[in-house]
Structure 1
Amino acid sequence: MHLKQIILIATLIISTTLLAQQKNKQTKVVKDGFQISIHTANLKNQKLQLYLISGVTKKQFVTDSLTITDNNQIVVFKQPKKIIDAIYYLKFSTQKNGVGIAVDNGIKMDLYLNSNTIEEITCSNNAINKDFIEYQQLDKSATPEQKTNSRNVLLSRYPNSILQLYLAAENKIAEKVPATLEEKINYRNFYFTFLDRTDKRILFLPNTTKLLYKYVTLLPITAENYIDNIDNLLKGLDCKSKNYDVFSNYFISNLAFFETNQLEKAFNHLYKNYIDKNPCDIFSAADYNSYSNKYATNIKVPIGTKCPDFELVSKDTIAYKLSEVFPKNDFTFIAFYSPSCIHCQEKMPVVSASFQNLKNRYPAKKIQLIAVINDADESDWTQFISEKKLDSWLNLKSQDSKRKYQEDFNAYSNPSYFLINKSGDVILKTFNIKAIEELINK
């Protein structure tokens, strides 16, 4: 072999090796995280935001923001660390909502935008998001059947992307519910077979709430049906799974939303079987204490039972017996609070204003408001009443240093609330203005 040939082959080997090493380095750069390059034109001084929508709370969480400083500029949202695949959104800071993009770990894409209308954004080098953006544009004018057909095409096209999970959830939400009770029960029991309940990406789906809401409303909202809903979703799910926390907290908030449906038994079941003793240490101390206190109150003063009686006095030492107050009113609302409690300081003026609004709207209903200082220190009591606009309330305190009412009501945390009807039955144990109005309207 000639020397020139040897040199040429050696050069090719070295070049190939260097090229491979360079390629490996490039691969490592985009192996984890994401890189979203947005080619902008004529958008100087505009601010772009990248955000997530938590599927359980529906709140927007801005993860990054960039200001465009030139009329022709490429701005880059970049995350070098491994991420959980998610549906992100892009919007201008002045807008309420944005355009969704499917961000799988390791993705690198180029987007183009030359208008302050975010919906006009386009994608060139990433087929998933090119199709997803086009789907969202179609979504505004398409019929339900066209939307389903479009989703099914993309589902088969991108089986491993976060987009597949998002669209599969959309299909489930849009799916027709069976007509008969027996069919509905069977449908509910197999509702989640289309996904892995331990999939971490569920938290970052913007449609998780819709998916879960359809699930819990498939059958009439009763304690028995809701207990079955809880067991069907949580039983057998390892508490180490992040979704154990996600689903449990959704049930907590949803049970509060449907409070007037007498779901106390369902809450107790959820607490005893899935929350008590804080399995795997997944609930924060504050949340766990809150759930435990609610459970203790449910046991102590169940909904529908007679309210415990007490005798307290006003600041003028006039005695008031609860059992002599509620028969004279259609509804009696009791708030136990402490002037030093930060949450009480924030909440009590809101509670007072909300009830004043209800009284104005329902003048025929007699509503008595009772505020009980739930604290041995009364030095700030009068000032608190004045500052928090509680002058129209019946403001009471205990003359008993042991405050026996605390044990009777489990009113150890502040604030604690109880709504009582004319017969003295406890009908609500939270401040939920929607639920209160429903009860007043019955």
Structure 2
Amino acid sequence: MRYTLFFFLLLLSACLQAQYKINLQINAPKDSIAYLRGVVFDDKNYFPKDTIRIKKNVVILQSKKPIVGGMYYVQLDKSKQRFYFILENNDNLSLEIRGGEIHSNNPRNQVYFQYQKLAKSFEVIDSLYDAEVGRGRKFSYSDKAAFFKVKTAALAAFRKKALPKLNPSEVLHIYFSALNRLDASVPDKKNYAARLAFLKGLDFNTNKLLFIPTYKELVSEYMGYYPTQADSLLKGVDQILSRVNCQSKSYPYVLNYFVQLMRNRNVQNNTEGFVKFVNTYVEKSSCNALSATVKKTLIDDAARLNKVVNLAKSPAISLPDTTGVTQDLHQFAASFDYTLLAFYAPTCDHCQKEVPEMDSTMKLIESRLNLSLGRFYVCNEPGVPQATWRKFISDYKITTNAKHVELPSVSDIRTQYDAFSNPVFFLLNRAGEIVARRISPNTLRKYFAEIQRQRMAQNP
């Protein structure tokens, strides 16, 4: 009976003139459901395709609509195993998932499965790297390249051998070629020739490139050649977007990537950079890649931030502290060389990490540069119990040169500083002037490193 049904489905699919057909066989006793997904731009953006109920041994999946071709995966519901494969338009695939492996009648996919198996054999290196990063180790681009040297060499050798046997227009050829380019690149902010060479020859309008996870890596790798300063990164943005056709499928994804990049607080002068980016590529752009709603949201965000950019002196803050005593920001700032103004929420996960990290960074800068640094902390979580607020201060020991005040639920201060998220940090001088906006511990270090460099230049 099973074979009769299978034969009938084959006849039916032929009648439908499917643009692709997948004969999927899954042997997974613990799983009753699997998901078929296609990757778009990166491994996090995927488009849903099918939910498969594993009741029969063989499942037929097909589509009458043409596809571009790209990378897909089947994920089992309970075991969470994920199996990637390549799907081109007009493909007629047989896929079999058994245990922890996948097999196919398609030679192209068999090559890809072998490649994934080789990559999996180096998982211990990935785990070691993740552990080092978890312990706080910082990797430069060259350090990371050295750490993965053995894995990179083995995978590159596999791709080099496989590429001549693949058609240049095929997804797997595009994917392997992109990986080769990434492996050969080690971003160096002073190596302008390497930056240009990396970009040369890349066709960002190739639709198949959008449907494999290396597109985002290629853009990110190129941006790694620029200093993490807004004015520098905007030059890289100009280079990439000048090569992406406004009408291409990939343009909205690339544009959104740059929206997130220019918002990043690890970018120096990110506030000014984000405003300029939105003004150039959203507000004044003739490209209609974004929906009206998204476009309006970005323009409104930039308008709010532009008000913050134009602030010379910090708006006044006079609020009660944990004991009920009113504390004045400008009076407090006048007592220190610089003052960190921090908006945070005690229950915010990011705050629990970044607020103490920022305090530790301040202490390090104080000792190295012989500066007096104040901390003016604003509890930006309306309705939080005072016990929770006090516990946060105590647990993370943020009491050195510090005042803690509480922002009421309705306040112009939140609007004036655009402090609608947490944490948000500003740096003020003695006069209460804002010298750095929406910073991170990393950008704070860079700010004072520049001050130290100027000191050394004046007193060699």
Q: What residue number does 2:238 align with?
A: 231
Question: Structure 1 CA distance, aligned partners of 2:285 and 2:168?
Answer: 36
2:83 maps to a residue whose letter is V
Percent identical residues: 17
Question: Structure 1 CA distance, aligned partners of 2:68 and 2:212?
Answer: 11
The aligned runs of 1:42-441 (5 Å cut-off) are: 43=29, 45-56=31-42, 58-59=44-45, 63-69=49-55, 73-96=57-80, 98-115=82-99, 117=100, 120-124=101-105, 126-141=106-121, 143-156=151-164, 157-177=166-186, 181=190, 184-235=191-242, 237-257=244-264, 259-277=266-284, 279-302=286-309, 306-312=312-318, 320-327=327-334, 330-334=339-343, 349-350=347-348, 354=352, 358=356, 362=360, 367-371=375-379, 384-386=383-385, 394-396=405-407, 403=412, 409=417, 411=418, 414-415=420-421, 418-421=424-427, 423=429, 424=432, 425-429=434-438
Check 1:327–1:356 CA distance in 2 against 1; reply closer, same or farther (3 A cut): farther
2:195 maps to a residue whose letter is R
**C-alpha displacement at 1:439, in angstroms?**
8.0
**C-alpha displacement at 1:236, in angstroms?**
5.7
Question: Structure 1 CA distance, aligned partners of 2:291 and 2:229?
Answer: 29
TM-score, normalised relative to structure 2: 0.67
State whether residues 428 and 435 of structure 2, in contact with CA within 8 Å, keep that contact through their aligned partners in structure 1. Answer: no
Check 1:50–1:426 CA distance in 2 against 1; reply closer, same or farther (3 A cut): farther
Q: Secondary structure at the match of 2:240?
A: helix
**Total equivalences in the alignment:** 383
Cα-to-partner distance string for 1:264-292 (whole Å, 9 max, x where unaligned): 45434422321224633322445434432
CA RMSD of aligned residues (A): 4.3
State whether residues 222 and 261 of structure 1, in contact with CA within 8 Å, keep that contact through their aligned partners in structure 2. Answer: yes
Give the unaligned 5+ runs of structure 2: 1-9, 122-149, 364-373, 394-403, 450-460
Question: Structure 2 CA distance, aligned partners of 1:205 and 1:313?
Answer: 52
Q: What residue number does 2:126 align with?
A: none
**C-alpha displacement at 1:171, in angstroms?**
1.1
Question: Structure 1 CA distance, aligned partners of 2:271 and 2:410?
Answer: 32
State whether residues 189 and 232 of structure 1, in contact with CA within 8 Å, keep that contact through their aligned partners in structure 2. Answer: no
**C-alpha displacement at 1:213, in angstroms?**
1.8
Question: Structure 2 CA distance, aligned partners of 1:299 and 1:59?
Answer: 30
Instruction: List, as ranges, runs of 4+ consecutive aligned residues in structure 1 with deviation greater than 6 Å.
Output: 22-25, 315-318, 436-442
Q: Secondary structure at the match of 2:203?
A: coil
Check 1:326–1:417 CA distance in 2 against 1; reply closer, same or farther (3 A cut): farther
Cα-to-partner distance string for 1:350-370 (whole Å, 9 max, x where unaligned): 169627972898499664322
Q: Secondary structure at the match of 1:52?
A: strand
Check 1:131–1:226 CA distance in 2 against 1; reply closer, same or farther (3 A cut): same
**C-alpha displacement at 1:166, in angstroms?**
1.4
State whether residues 187 and 221 of structure 2, in contact with CA within 8 Å, keep that contact through their aligned partners in structure 1. Answer: no
Give the unaligned 5+ runs of structure 1: 1-21, 336-346, 374-380
**C-alpha displacement at 1:122, in angstroms?**
0.9
**C-alpha displacement at 1:147, in angstroms?**
2.4
State whether residues 38 and 112 of structure 1, in contact with CA within 8 Å, keep that contact through their aligned partners in structure 2. Answer: yes
Q: Bigger CA drift: 388-397 or 202-211?
A: 388-397
Q: What residue number does 1:29 align with?
A: 17
Question: Structure 2 CA distance, aligned partners of 1:24 and 1:35?
Answer: 11
Question: Structure 2 CA distance, aligned partners of 1:138 and 1:51?
Answer: 23
Question: Structure 2 CA distance, aligned partners of 1:180 and 1:29?
Answer: 52
TM-score, normalised relative to structure 1: 0.70
Q: Bigger CA drift: 49-58 or 231-240?
A: 49-58
**C-alpha displacement at 1:37, in angstroms?**
1.6
State whether residues 45 and 67 of structure 1, in contact with CA within 8 Å, keep that contact through their aligned partners in structure 2. Answer: no
